[in-house]
Structure 1
Amino acid sequence: MSWLLRRIYAASIGRSSIPIEVIFFDGSTYRNSSDPPELKIHYKSRWSQLNSIINHGWGLLESYISQAVDIEGDLKLLIKANAEAGPSLSEKIRQPHIPHLIIRFRNFWHELRFGNRKISRAVKNALHHYNRGNEIFWQYLDPSMTYTCAYWKKGTRSLADAQKNKLDHVCRKLMLQPGEKLIDVGGGWGALLFHACEKYGVIGTNVSPTIDQNQWLAKKAREKGLEDKISIQEKDFRQVTGTFDKYASLGVFEHAGKGQLRDWIRSMAGCLKEGGIGLLHFIAHDRPMDTEFFIRKHIFPGGYLPGLSETIDIMAEYGLEILDIENLRRHYSLTLDAWAKNFEQNWEALHRCNCDQFNERFCRTWKAYLNFCAECFRTDNAILRLYQITFSKGNTTTYPMDRGFLYQT
């Protein structure tokens, strides 16, 4: 069995510039370089080797999470090594489906079981990630509890500053005015609404089914004296009520699900007044493609990364004019780097909060999630994007015709 796995590694990382050593269960080894290894992969059972042979990288990852494989070194190097030996950007873009047939079937089966077609299922999927208790997120987010890509403009020195940059960047794009009604769909712990209410004088509404976040947001609003400025609709995005001057959704469109993009955009257009401005911020592919199975199974069940092209097509059908599209892909790598660093530095404190929930399996799952995603946004053949689409309901006559207003001090 080891000889077959050795051949798989030789084909996948043999040409990588990163020195890697693989130690098999029988004690034999494979090294792609004579230099001291920067990354070591240690198989602890025959089953873990078989899992890698059958499921390739996905099998290695699942064995790592289950502690049947140990990985020493920076996890990001594993993604970087595979990218160096993998297909080019254009080749990956032309491949809309997961090439591994077993993983493609598992991804299909996941959609059947966990797709967000029913609101009840969508709520369960959201709670799976976000309703684990706020303690976990305190350990790796910035003090504002902003759980979306930050904005690392020139001179930014910290995650907290980068998140403040992002919040204000969004508010400037929306051209918020005092007294306007702003809806934030999936507002998390309320960072955008607090910033918009305090700095721009708007009246905010958060729409989210996640109980822990909503309770935290309501308590924080009372502490800030904003309870009459911020309201909460604890419901799915398809159940939004009211009409608003401005619309925002940061990092939640990905939770709509493969078959529910139209429902999301219909709701988005339906709650925005004529001439209103909105901003949709989301992880995406440039065109419709399968979403990574590991993320769907272990992190965001039912999730789907929309294609930019399909998103724009549907927005056009509902009379939404695209005003601006910005790609923050490289900003997300830096954001995830900071989250991963914070998580690892604060892991012991989190583990002490609840050693049964936050156990070694959870630690490995979250380390893989944050580190692998960081590198997947960074590699030369990365197909992940982070788009901000600014739009108006109907053709605008008032929105600025250049971007100068975004950068005025």
Structure 2
Amino acid sequence: MWDTLLDRFLTGMMVEDRLSLTYPDGTTRDYGPDTGASAHLEISDEATLRALVLNPDLGLGEGYMDEKITPRNCTLDDALTLIIRNRFKGTIPPWMLMANRARFHMRRFIQNNTPNTSRKNVAHHYDISDDLYRLFLDQDMQYSCAYFRDDEMTLEQAQVAKKAHIAGKLCLEPGMHVLDIGCGWGGMALTLAQDYGCRVTGITLSENQLATARQRADAAGLSDQIDFRLQDYRHTKGTFDRIVSVGMLEHVGVPNFDTYFGRVAELLDPDGVALIHTIGRSAPPIAHSSWINKYIFPGGYVPSLSELAPAMERSGLWQTDIEVWRLHYAKTIRHWRDRFDAHLDEITATYDERFVRMFRYYLTVCILAFEHQMQGVYHLQLAHKRAAVPLTRDYLYDASAPMASGRQPKRVSA
């Protein structure tokens, strides 16, 4: 039964490329024209067939993690590229369309991220171990999209360029008080304090990140300029000259967009500027990945601009600039995966094979999402006043501005 249903699914889906599938009984069937790219997957048991029919996204990820789905004479990249490239172009069976619609409408319940739920969701991913992240991130531990001003940039240079670009959009002056919502391991806050002379309040829900950020501030002699807190953005008090939030909006969830942008408006000084850096879809909303939600970012969601715009509008803030980064995140994660693979001996000494396969699948599927789906990074620059920032983007490309060239700043101990 399950092989028949999967056969129907793949026959309709594969319209551009050739996917060969070896079933548990040893038979191999080919799907799609023999004119595009090709890949071959082998499935070892009936339970995986059932999982692929009921929820292909979850079934494929778990099948790879458990070594029930194995690429043959091709790479994981090859196989996932074919699947991603064809999934929205072919015909999807009615039962899968109904399941997708149900998951889409359930997102308001799945993403009802209360302060307590948000703490648990953050701990699931970010409190694994700082040592793991140090193995594949840049020296500053920037766990967000870098900015590749040219293809020759190293990951370190591109992350410096990212921070500089964001700092430029904040129109900083020494002594300004900046709120960093979702401050991670403190790299952005340290840069704004050290290179721009700002006071920074950084908030995070990760205990690991908080401890590391505080240690880094102490080591750099910046504890008097930076206050790192274990705090939810909904509980933050005060008024700030500038607000920055990098890679945190993806954890807010659809039900909380109004609350999030409302809090940005409340916390931002009347003359202030905010810069929100977030993954987003340049297409209508879809259901979030079941596999990503279960194993990587519970409660997370990649929003479409059409979902963010109403909340921004209701906040009363001006959208002074919206910039879209294309392919920068794919390049960033390819650097991460290369470094992850280069440290496999160290990683496997601590984590079991299933975890390693899970994490590598996560990095790979994210690369391909940015390369083959309508997914990029949005820079949302917001202000109470339309004249809070210059009227053109020329100010962002002043070569005399601090770090504009992407040079490495003074290194802060991790």
User: TM-score w.r.t. structure 1 length?
Assistant: 0.88
Identify if the C-alpha distance between structure 1 residues 85 and 327 changes in structure 2 by more than 3 Å, giving closer, same or farther. Answer: same
Task: Please tell me whether residue 405 in structure 1 is matched to residue 395 in structure 2.
Answer: yes
Q: Deviations over 1:35-62 (max 9, x none)?
A: 9996431211121122223333432222
Q: CA RMSD in A?
A: 2.6
Q: Where do 1:49-68 residues align within 5 Å?
A: 49-68=49-68
1:197–1:69: structure 2 CA closer, same or farther, 3 Å change rule? same
Deviation per residue, 1:117-155 (Å, 9 max, x gap):
421111111111111110121121111100111101125
Matched, 1:200 2:200: no
SS in 2 for 1:139: helix
TM-superposed CA distance for 1:271, in Å, is: 1.1
1:390 to 373, 376, 381: 381
In the alignment, the residues of structure 2 paired with residue 363 and residue 137 of structure 1 have an alpha-carbon distance, to the nearest angstrom, of: 13
2:281–2:376 Cα contact (<8 Å) kept: yes
Contact 1:177/1:201 (CA < 8 Å) preserved in 2? yes
The yes-or-no answer on 1:295 pairing with 2:288 is no
Over 3 Å counting, the alpha-carbon distance change for 1:4 and 1:259 in structure 2 is closer
Q: In structure 2, do the counterparts of structure 1 residues 99 and 269 end up closer, same or farther at CA, with 3 Å as the change threshold?
A: farther
Whether the aligned pair in 2 keeps the contact of 1:186 and 1:250 (CA below 8 Å) is yes
The match for 1:374 is 367
Give % identity: 27
Alignment map for 1:229-268 (pairs within 5 Å): 229-268=225-264
Residue by residue over 1:175-216, the C-alpha shift from the partner in whole angstroms, topping out at 9 and shown as x without a partner, is 111111111100101111111111111111111111000000
Indicate yes or no: 2:352 matched with 1:359.
yes
Partner of 1:319: 316
Say whether the 8 Å CA contact 1:189–1:213 is kept in structure 2. Answer: yes
Provide closer, same or farther for how the CA distance between residues 309 and 377 of structure 1 changes in structure 2, counting only shifts above 3 A.
Answer: same
- Spell out the pairing of 1:69-108 with structure 2 (5 A cutoff): 69-72=69-72, 73-87=74-88, 100-102=97-99, 104-105=101-102
Q: Matches of 1:378 and 1:36 in 2, distance apart?
A: 17
Q: 1:83 Cα shift?
A: 4.0
CA gap of 1:368–1:401, structure 2 versus 1, over 3 A, is same
Change in Cα spacing, 1:41 to 1:335, as seen in structure 2 (3 Å) is: same
* Distance change in 2, residues 1:133/1:6 (3 Å): same
CA contact (8 A) 2:176 2:241 kept: yes
Given that residues 103 and 293 in structure 1 are in contact (C-alpha distance below 8 angstroms), is that contact kept between their aligned partners in structure 2? Answer: no
Alignment correspondent of 2:326: 329
CA offset at residue 282 of structure 1?
Answer: 0.7
| SS of residue in 1 equivalent to 2:395 | helix
Deviation sequence 1:309-350 (CA, Å, 0-9, x none): 232222222221111111113111111111122222212212
Q: Who is 1:95 aligned against?
A: none
Q: Distance in 2 between matches of 1:310 and 1:49?
A: 35
2:147–2:161 contact (8 Å) kept in structure 1: yes
For 1:43, the equivalent position in structure 2 comes to: 43
Query: Which secondary structure does the structure 2 equivalent of 1:378 belong to?
Result: helix
1:310 aligns with 2:310: no
Say yes or no: does 1:28 pair with 2:27. yes
Superposed displacement of residue 99, structure 1 = 5.5
Q: Distance in 1 between matches of 2:332 and 2:367?
A: 8
Partner residue, 1:163: 159
d(CA) in 2 for partners of 1:49 and 1:245? 55
For 1:36 and 1:276, the matched residues in 2 are separated by 52
Match status 1:8 vs 2:9: yes
| Paired letter, 2:331 | L
Q: Secondary structure at the match of 2:254?
A: coil
Distance in 2 separating the partners of 1:260 and 1:214: 24
Query: Could you state the TM-score of these two structures normalised by the residue count of structure 2?
Result: 0.87
Q: 2:133–2:141: 8 Å Cα contact kept in structure 1? A: yes
Cα distance between partner residues in 2 of 1:338 and 1:324 = 29
Gaps of 5+ in 2: 400-414
What is the identity, as a one-letter code, of the residue corresponding to 1:270? E
Report if the CA contact (8 A) 1:76-1:374 is conserved: no
Aligned partners of 1:300 and 1:229: how far apart in 2? 31
Find the aligned partners of 1:344 and 1:361 in 2 and give their Cα distance: 15
Task: Indicate yes or no: 2:218 matched with 1:222.
Answer: yes
1:278 paired residue number: 274
Quick one: which amino acid aligns to residue 98 of structure 2? L
Aligned length: 393
Q: CA deviation at 1:101?
A: 3.0
Residues 275 and 396, structure 1, Cα contact 8 Å, conserved in 2:
no
The residue type paired with residue 362 of structure 2 is Y
- Is this contact kept in 2: 1:44–1:68, CA < 8 A? yes
Distance 1:166 1:116 in 2: 31
